[in-house]
Amino acid sequence: MLKFGAKRWLFIGIALAIAASFLSPNFNRYYLGVGIDVGIAIILAVSLNLINGHTGQFSLGHAGFMAVGGYFAAWISLKLGESAEVFFPLSLLAGGLFAALIGLFVGIPSLRLRGDYLAIVTLGFGEIIRVVAQNTEAIGAASGLKGIPKLTNLGWTFGLAALTIYIITALVNSTYGRGFLAVHDDEIAAESSGINTTRYKVVAFVTGSFFAGIAGGLYAHHKQFLAPTGFDWLKSVEIVVMVILGGMGRTAGVVAAAILLTLLPEFLREVSEYRMILYALLIIFLMILRPEGLFAFKLKRRQTS
């Protein structure tokens, strides 16, 4: 699929995002805000999809890595003060790298575990990150981190969303990246075909954490306020549901699900008191009736590059 001019699509995506960014002062502020929410959700869901979908590992701690990146990037911006805007891309990158580093520390010991054990351990790490944030004065402790400059705009959000989609798709659609799917399908066969399954899992985990960190940075400079409670495991579940709804391992479906699930609460504002109940029911019925995802049709896997 990415054989010809894959990079060209990436550039088109980024160009569109930047153009939108210049036009954005004309947009309604509410829609603008929702639009950025959507972009951040896409980054989170597509990156988690590499771990949970393509590689078949079950992480329930994506929000934790988002928190790491968000807090770190926001902290840098606050330290920089005036010049935060100039260094914004670097702050985002630093947040992503820091999240990736934590992901590495978390991934190496825990990825030996399988299935639900891994889910619980990643959930645990997410909670530990939250508790640490709650108790660290430098980042506002329990009362949260306030006064983060508003630097996130459509351009950055969708430019980075395009980059995320490109990177994950390019990765998976290469011989190297087929290894992730091999690990997903059969770890023992993968090992005996020379695929270092541990390394693949860690690489998937670190890559996913990196983008979660980037998304966290965008989120921080969008909401201008971070509270530890915003990154509890319910947030992780939300991202997991996007991945499942989209059909694990199908990037296009996951993007669609991220858009849908971010917009859905906005439409449900009328019945907001029942919103979360409906959301929970949606999860249950989806799992029982359409476990392969909403957009799963009997497709042959796309031919490879």
Of 244-303, which residues contact another protein (CB under 8 A)? Answer: 244, 249, 273-274, 276-277, 279-284, 287-288, 291, 300-301, 303
Exposed/middle/buried for residue 139 (C-beta within 10 Å: 0-12, 13-18, 19+): buried
Residues 6+ apart with CB under 8 A from 235: 62, 63, 66
Contact 145, 226 (CB under 8 A): yes
Give the count of beta carbons closer than 10 Å to the beta carbon of residue 224. 15
- Alpha helix stretches (DSSP H) within 24-87: 29-48, 62-80
* Three-state DSSP state, 226: strand
Pick the closer one to another protein by CB: 110 or 153: 110
Pick the closer one to another protein by CB: 7 or 150: 7
Q: Does 116 sit near another protein (CB under 8 A)?
A: yes
Q: Does 305 sit near another protein (CB under 8 A)?
A: yes
CB of 205 to another protein, least distance (A): 13
Pick the closer one to another protein by CB: 27 or 274: 274
> Which region among 19-27, 74-82, 90-98, 108-116 touches another protein (by CB under 8 A)?
108-116
Using CB under 8 A, pick the residue from 18, 32, 104, 134 that binds another protein.
Answer: 134
Q: How far is CA 51 from CA 25, 130, 134, 250, in A?
A: 36, 21, 27, 12
Of 165-184, which residues contact another protein (CB under 8 A)? Answer: 167, 170-171, 173-179, 181-182, 184
Question: One symbol per residue from 184 to 203: x for binding another protein (CB under 8 A), - otherwise; what is it?
Answer: xxx-xxxxxxxxxxx----x
Listed residue (241, 236, 214) closest to 68, CA to CA: 214
From CA 188, how far away is CA 197, in angstroms rounded? 9
Of 59-98, which residues contact another protein (CB under 8 A)? Answer: none
CB of 134 to another protein, least distance (A): 7
Listed residue (32, 39, 34, 47) closest to 236, CA to CA: 47
CB of 295 to another protein, least distance (A): 17
Pick the closer one to another protein by CB: 23 or 277: 277
Q: Does 214 sit near another protein (CB under 8 A)?
A: no
**Residues near another protein (CB under 8 A), total:** 74
What's the Rg (C-alpha) of the chain? 19
